[in-house]
Copies of this chain bind each other. A is one copy, B any other.
Amino acid sequence: MSSAPGKTDQATLAEIKSGTVTMETVGRIAGVSQVTVSRALNDPKKVSAKTLQRIQDAIELTGYVPNMVAGALASRRSKLIAALVPSITNVIYSDLMQNFINVIRGSGYHVLMAETGFSQDEEQAVVSTMLSRRPDGILLTGIHHSSGCKKMLLGAGIPVIEVWDITENPLDVCIGFSHIRAGEEMARYAAGKGYDKALIVSAGDERALRRKNAFANQFTQLTGNAPIEVLYEAGATIERGRNGLRSGLEKGFQSGIIMCSSDLLAHGILIEAQARGIKIPEDMAVLGFGNQDFSPFTLPALTTVEINRPDLGRRAAEALVARIENQPLPDKSIDVGFELIERAST
């Protein structure tokens, strides 16, 4: 009678105390086999109400916690998603990830997050170690990856979603917007408002540079004047924005519009302008990018380009889960677009 339902024998007690409770333990207490416990958790309909109740009681009693490591090995589905972003301290990306993660969690997946620091080599290194976790899917930022990285991803045979950029030929699925079109749109707006001189203050990452070049080309074409440029290797900060205006003035910029690769830089420029008694937008205009949460509340409020990041994160998660679960996906390349929001700084 030692293994009768409801009984808790010596061995069972030892397992509970040592924290080594498994489905086997739960089953022994509930008077069923380990397999039935597995079914009770994964597909309760297949188990009778009576035994289901007994199993639930046993789980309660033992404090059983499922072991997804074992589950992943057996099912060959890890329920893990790897997510690679250039920087987790940059709100542009963490904002996106916040929504991505929340949707992903709702579908029962966990997220392994890592930084790639704007470098393809680092991305490849990170992808390499991530794949050893056998993720069911992976999110990458951007559409440019090393060939070694692509090869590994193809070899892994898992869905890949590339975000924050767009291309006709994604590795698998991409969702984002055209940085070139965004840059061009900013130039058209600037020229359309009558500004015929421009200063560009930009961070040095590849996507920012693509926007910058598109802006410069379009602006030059429309006005006949090539913008002055101030570039930073590193990421955008308010400090670099302040320095950027200083450098721009030293390089001879006197009036017109200042195109920034980020609202953070733009905010820094507003501050530096204020410190110097330069009036925005009377003396010069400022155009940001990203529409961060503070951008409507600067002095003056910032004209900028909005990307709906929460929506982007959500849709990326939904698309990735759909791909993993073999649901049909209408499109391999999803353009979420952007919107130029005019405020007082221009």
Residues of A in contact with B (beta carbons under 8 Å apart): 19, 63, 65-70, 72-73, 78, 87-89, 91, 94-95, 97-98, 101-102, 105, 110-115, 128-134, 151-152, 155-157, 237-239, 242, 267-268, 271, 274-275, 293-294, 296-299
CB distance from A238 to the nearest CB of B (A): 4
Supply 25 A–B pairs (Cβ within 8 Å), ascending by A: A19-B156, A65-B128, A65-B132, A65-B155, A66-B132, A67-B134, A69-B69, A69-B72, A69-B78, A87-B98, A88-B101, A89-B98, A94-B94, A101-B114, A102-B115, A105-B114, A105-B129, A110-B114, A111-B112, A111-B114, A112-B112, A239-B294, A239-B297, A242-B297, A274-B299
Which one of B63, B87, B129, B238 lies within 8 Å of A297 (CB-CB)? B238
Q: Contact check: which of B114, B128, B271 meets A299 at CB < 8 Å? A: B271
In the complex, what distance in Å separates the CA atom of A187 from the CA atom of B66? 49
Q: Which residues of B contact A88 (CB under 8 A)?
A: 88, 94, 97-98, 101
Closest to A239 in B: B297
Q: Kindly state the separation between the CA atoms of A95 and B94 in the bound complex, as whole angstroms.
A: 11
CB contacts (< 8 Å) of A87 on chain B: these are 98
A69, A102, A298 — most chain B CB neighbours (10 Å):
A69
The answer for the CA separation of A156 and B110 in the assembled complex, in Å, is 19
How many angstroms between the C-alpha atoms of A110 and B19 in the bound complex? 23
User: Distance in Å from the Cβ of A93 to the closest Cβ of chain B?
Assistant: 10
A274: nearest chain-B partner, CB-CB: B299
Q: In the bound complex, what is the Cα–Cα distance between A238 and B302 (angstroms)?
A: 14
Q: How many copies does the complex hold?
A: 2
A73 contacts which of B69, B131, B151, B267 (Cβ < 8 Å)? B69
Within the complex, the shortest CB–CB distance from A110 to chain B, in Å, comes to 5
Instruction: Check B68–A133 contact: CB distance below 8 A.
Output: yes
- Are B110 and A111 interface neighbours, CB within 8 A? no
Residue of B nearest to A133 (CB): B68
Q: What's the least CB distance linking A95 to chain B, in Å? A: 5
**Interface pairs A-B: 7 shortest CB-CB:** A238-B294, A68-B132, A89-B94, A66-B132, A113-B113, A69-B72, A239-B297
CB distance from A270 to the nearest CB of B (A): 10
A274 cross-chain contacts in B, Cβ below 8 A: 274, 299
Least Cβ–Cβ distance between A317 and chain B, in angstroms: 14
A297 to B133, CA, bound (A): 43
Chain B's nearest CB lies how many Å from the CB of A60? 12
Name the CB-closest residue of B to A151: B63
Q: Provide the residues of chain B in CB contact with A101, threshold 8 Å.
A: 88, 113-115
In the bound complex, residues from chain B placing their C-beta under 8 Å from that of A94 are: 88-89, 94
